[in-house]
Amino acid sequence: MNNPTYERKVDTTLSDSRERGTYPRVISTASNQSTPLYPISSSTKSRGTERSIISTEDHKHKEYIYSQIESIFWEAKRENFEDGMESKFSQNLISFIRKYNQDAIESITFLIVYENVNPEVAGEALRWIGRIEHQDSYAFRRWLLEISIILPSAHVRDGALLGIASMDDKHAIKYLKDAINKEKCNDLKEDMIQVLEQLES
Amino acid sequence: MPLLLRAIRKSRWNKTNCPWLAKDDIQADLLRDFETKDNTLSVWLVQDDRSNLNDVLLALGASRDTASNLDYTIFDVGLLANINIKLEINAGNTLYAKANCWHRDLVELTTNKIVKLAEYLLKNAEIERFSEKGMIKLIQDAVNKNQIDRAKLKPSIDKRLV
């Protein structure tokens, strides 16, 4: 497995990309590299995607992946999720991540972080992102959970928390502690403390 | 007085998801946890001393597709009389035979009764979460004691056991 370092990749056109079906163009900004936003693996670096502007071919490929995952999330709005039960959405999500690996997580990140999806569906996705067995995407999935635990939606924070609990990885402790300090919802804060105790035990 | 347990999804009950919600109102998405079939709703009887609570949680958790946390609400069975909801004894159909006798159905439900039940539970009932790790331990213990047939567990749960 690659050991990703954290560098910043910023979507400078995001405000124009919120409409369904438009993939946000990813542009890296060297001046902002001190703030970690997205994990870059050594394999990604070797493909040269850290260059100033990604190639048209790469962009088309990512646009295709983005449209795929967007459809998966869109259709899931009709489903009623239950703890521990698979759904058409969870099955599609797992297949998607296994197929597209870190590109899949990148697309899911845009959907969730920039709140382009239904919050309950986003929360459900994060539960499964912590649960699936797929070593190649492990660090990326963990990273997504760690940043999602402080996002505005309580649905999303709860999903991220459950994903972190499933992964049971001590790496998340510092992010969880930070989230506990920021959490305004008492119920969710108590659940976070319970997961922190689990990770520290 | 005995208690009743209903599996829910805790995040739907969180009012902070709906900052637009009036103080005494309830969010409509919460009703997704009251999805009826033939106008009935599945619940589980829990002794007032909660001595069978873990048995009920095990019955629910072991019968799922994957090891997971389990969110639930627990409330006094006496509430049903106030809302005129009937309770019927119908044995459960889980992998944990011992617990199946504690399954009940709320029957002849109407939309009015469900909304009243949801309102009451949101204001008064306990909303709890049993952790995924705790669930794996419960299932493992039950398998070790031959209380659950390991061969009948879903593969994704079986993989998590020793």
Please state, rounded to an integer, the average pLDDT across all residues of chain B: 95
Q: How confident is the model at residue B17 (pLDDT cuts 50, 70, 90)?
A: confident
Segments forming the whole domain that contains residue A66: 59-200
Percent over 70 (pLDDT), chain B: 100
Instruction: Check CB contact of B17 with chain A, cutoff 8 Å.
Output: yes
Give whole-number Cα distances, A75 to A71, A103, A124, in Å. 6, 20, 13
Evaluate whether residue A183 is within a structural domain: yes
In the prediction, which pLDDT does B57 show?
Answer: 98
Q: Which of B6, B15, B16, B33 to mutate to test the interface with A (most CBs of A within 10 A)?
A: B16
Strands B41-46 and A38-40: unpaired
By the 8 A CB rule, do A27 and A52 touch? yes
CA distance A188 to B8: 15
Count structural domains, chain A.
Answer: 1
Token pair listed for A111: 């959907």
Structural domain includes residue A105: yes
Q: How far apart are CA A101 and CA B6, in angstroms?
A: 37
CB pairs under 8 A between A and B: 69
**In this complex, is the C-beta atom of B127 within 8 Å of any C-beta atom belonging to chain A?**
yes
Task: Write down the pLDDT at residue A85.
Answer: 96
Q: Which residue in the set B17, B65, B69 is minimally distant from A165, CB to CB? A: B69
pLDDT at B30 over 70: yes
Cβ-Cβ contacts under 8 Å for B143 (sequence gap 6 or more): B150, B153, B161
pLDDT > 70? residue B141: yes
List, for residues B41-91, the tens digit of each pLDDT value. Answer: 999 999 999 999 999 999 999 999 999 999 999 999 999 999 999 999 999
pLDDT of residue A11: 40
B138 lies within 8 A of chain A by CB: no
- B108 vs B137: CA distance, rounded Å: 37
Mark which residues 64-103 of B lie under 8 Å from A by CB.
Answer: 64-71
The nearest CA of chain B is from the CA of A39 a distance in Å of: 27
The whole-number pLDDT of residue A6 equals 40
- The phi, psi pair for B126, rounded to 5°, reads -80, 135
What CATH number has the domain bearing residue A70?
Answer: 1.25.10
Given A85, A155, A168, which is nearest B11 (Cβ)?
A: A155
What does the alpha-carbon distance between residue A27 and residue A62 come to, in Å, rounded to a whole number? 13
Helical pair A154-167 and A173-182, crossing angle rounded to 10 deg: 150
The answer to whether residue A116 is domain-embedded is: yes
Q: Which residues of chain A have pLDDT under 70?
A: 1-54
Contact A158, A188 (CB under 8 A): yes
- Which class for A2: exposed (0-12), middle (13-18), buried (19 or more C-beta within 10 A)? middle
A30 in a structural domain: no
Which SS3 state, helix, strand or coil, does residue B44 take?
Answer: strand
Question: Could you give the CA distance from residue B140 to residue B62 in angstroms, rounded to a whole number?
Answer: 10
**A131–B contact, CB cutoff 8 A:** yes
CB contact under 8 A, B29 and A120: yes
**Residue-level pLDDT at A63:** 87
Higher pLDDT pick, B17 / B142:
B142
Burial class (CB in 10 A: 0-12, 13-18, 19+), B39: middle
| pLDDT value of residue A53 | 55
Instruction: Give the nearest partner residue to A131 out of B9, B29, B66, using CB atoms.
Output: B66
Per-residue pLDDT, averaged over B100-104, amounts to 98
Cα distance from N-terminal residue to C-terminal residue, chain B: 38
Roughly how many angstroms between the first and final C-alpha of chain A, as a whole number? Answer: 26
What pLDDT, on a 0 to 100 scale, did the predictor assign at position A52? 52
pLDDT, residue A10, reads 35
Using an 8 Å Cβ cutoff, are B42 and B33 in contact? no
